[in-house]
Amino acid sequence: MRVSVWWLALVLQVATVAGRDAGEWPQFRGDLSLTGVSNARLPSSPELAWTHDAGDPIESSAAVSGGRVFVGSAGGELRAVDLESGALVWRYEAEDAIGESSPAVSGGGVYVADLAGVLHAVSEADGSKRWTFQTDGEVKSSPVVVEDSVLVGSYDGYLYCLSAAGGDVRWKQETDGPVHCTPGVRGGIAYVSGCDGMLRGIRVSDGEPVVTVDVGAYTGASPSLEGDRAVFGTFDNQVLAVGLKSGAVLWRYQPPERASPFYSSAAQSGGKVVLGGRDKMVHCLDASTGKALWTHATRARVDSSPAIADGRVWVGSYDSRLYSLDLETGKQLWEFQTGGRISASPAVAAGRIIVGSQDGLLYCFGAGSQ
């Protein structure tokens, strides 16, 4: 009976992801499965629609909801920007710089964490403070909202589950190292690929561990959940697929030509896994076997996590460029050079591609200038 309930929850979540509004990208990687996939239709040759100057480098990946874009900056600000024009709607000052933590938008609230280890909950409408929660380490993990709970990892070694309404701790689960990644959620289980070399599955309802897999390597990437597998890269130059039910390692991929730590989180669509490497390459693998299908060379390391939409891969690089690649072949279709490194991941919604750069600008591309 437990297996049947697990699969029912899984089917319901898949249906939710498949039916997600193409105008929304409400959290890091787009949805709780962290697959980085959007069903939005995009122009064949995107044009720069607008830029928004945040004043400080942007490593946080944008969220899109309700016609607004939400993003954090190294200046310690969470900003809400109008999706159509790029005009500032409101800004909220955090305790410290907002690093890689990306906003999650749900139920009228926006949640983001800063490098002082504080998780902030603010009003989606006007940016007013709702509550804060202090962890004992810096936070680079992006919060995710599961029903009425907020999950976030901290460098203090814990995955926290908090009440979305008031920030009260419902449970916290200790790991053996910093929790850098964003938890992926499937079938009521939160999966954490950890700096302690473990993949952990933790039940959202009560914080009880249900899966623990020793993957043998330090991991900074977040797990991408598709079907019965979690896929993530490691700093031991490998990409792994792990069975969600069995806990078995299904396959391992290691670039044949040179070592490549993988910091980028994988996107999964159409039987393909796509992620960036510090070997300056974008890698596409067969999701069933881990066999390499294609690679595409950029001019610098790729820590940005790809998005997949409209048959194309959208990914940034430390060479300051945003790339569009054909999902089937890896052929480059388009690129745009910003004024700084791109470590943030693109958000795709409402026919737009939005990404921040370390030059302090938030870029929006679409069918033309607004």
Q: Is the pLDDT of residue 135 over 80?
A: yes
List of E strands, 188-238: 189-193, 198-203, 209-214, 224-226, 229-233
How confident is the model at residue 127, as a pLDDT? 98
Work out whether the CA dihedral 44, 49, 55, 61 comes out positive or negative. Answer: negative
How confident is the model at residue 368, as a pLDDT? 59
Give one DSSP letter per residue of 277-321, joined into a string: -TTSEEEEEETTT--EEEEEE-SS---SPPEEETTEEEEE-TTSE
Contact criterion met (CB below 8 Å) for 48 and 369:
yes
Average pLDDT, integer, range 147-168: 98
Q: Is the pLDDT of residue 16 over 50?
A: no
Q: What is the pLDDT of residues 203-243, one digit of tens each?
A: 999 999 999 999 999 999 999 999 999 999 999 999 999 99
- In this prediction, residue 202 has a pLDDT band, given cuts at 50, 70 and 90, of very high
How confident is the model at residue 21, as a pLDDT? 67
Domains parsed from the chain with CATH numbers: 2-366 (2.130.10.10)
Work out whether the CA dihedral 82, 83, 85, 86 comes out positive or negative. Answer: positive
How confident is the model at residue 133, as a pLDDT? 98
How confident is the model at residue 257, as a pLDDT? 84
Taking the C-alpha atoms of residue 64 and residue 162, their distance in angstroms, rounded to an integer, is: 23
- In this prediction, residue 258 has a pLDDT band, given cuts at 50, 70 and 90, of confident
Taking the C-alpha atoms of residue 304 and residue 100, their distance in angstroms, rounded to an integer, is: 11
Contact criterion met (CB below 8 Å) for 274 and 327:
yes
Q: pLDDT averaged over the chain?
A: 94
Average pLDDT, integer, range 10-19: 42
- In this prediction, residue 11 has a pLDDT band, given cuts at 50, 70 and 90, of very low
Average pLDDT, integer, range 259-269: 96
Residues near 57 by beta carbon (within 8 Å), at least 6 away in sequence: 73, 74, 340, 357, 358, 359, 360
Taking the C-alpha atoms of residue 81 and residue 124, their distance in angstroms, rounded to an integer, is: 11
Average pLDDT, integer, range 257-279: 96
Average pLDDT, integer, range 40-49: 96
How confident is the model at residue 14, as a pLDDT? 44
How confident is the model at residue 6, as a pLDDT? 41
Q: What is the pLDDT of residues 47-84, one digit of tens each?
A: 999 999 999 999 999 999 999 999 999 999 999 999 99
Q: Is the pLDDT of residue 7 over 80?
A: no
Q: Which amino acid is located at 242 in the chain?
A: V
SS3 18: helix
Q: What is the pLDDT of residues 304-331, one digit of tens each?
A: 999 999 999 999 999 999 999 999 999 9
Q: Is the pLDDT of residue 20 over 90?
A: no
SS3 5: helix
Average pLDDT, integer, range 134-150: 98
Average pLDDT, integer, range 110-115: 98
Q: Is the pLDDT of residue 9 over 80?
A: no
